[in-house]
């Protein structure tokens, strides 16, 4: 593969979606975290708009990752 082919491959790889899950599944915008307990709950697993409470300690969990960011929230 020449320089042009390598450059094309690098550009193609950099523009691919970081979401590698099922395309038909509901898209997650992030996850709720309890940093004290290291508990994580994906936003699509939470009913309603309010932050859930941590199943370990009962404190309110914090949402992380903005909808416009790339990569996973893990």
Q: Which residues of the chain have pLDDT under 70?
A: 1, 13-26, 66-74
| Per-residue confidence (pLDDT) for residue 65, from 0 to 100 | 76
Q: Which CA distances in Å does 60 have to 10, 13, 20, 38, 39?
A: 41, 38, 29, 13, 11
| Per-residue confidence (pLDDT) for residue 7, from 0 to 100 | 76
| Per-residue confidence (pLDDT) for residue 63, from 0 to 100 | 92
| Per-residue confidence (pLDDT) for residue 8, from 0 to 100 | 77
| Per-residue confidence (pLDDT) for residue 14, from 0 to 100 | 57
């Amino acid at each position: 593969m020449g320089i042009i082919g390598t450059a094309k491959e690098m550009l193609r790889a950099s523009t691919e979606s970081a979401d590698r899950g099922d395309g038909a599944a509901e898209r997650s915008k992030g996850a709720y975290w309890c940093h004290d307990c290291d508990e994580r709950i994906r936003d699509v697993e939470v009913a309603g708009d309010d932050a859930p409470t941590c199943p370990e300690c009962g404190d309110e969990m914090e949402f992380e990752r903005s909808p416009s960011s790339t990569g996973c929230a893990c």
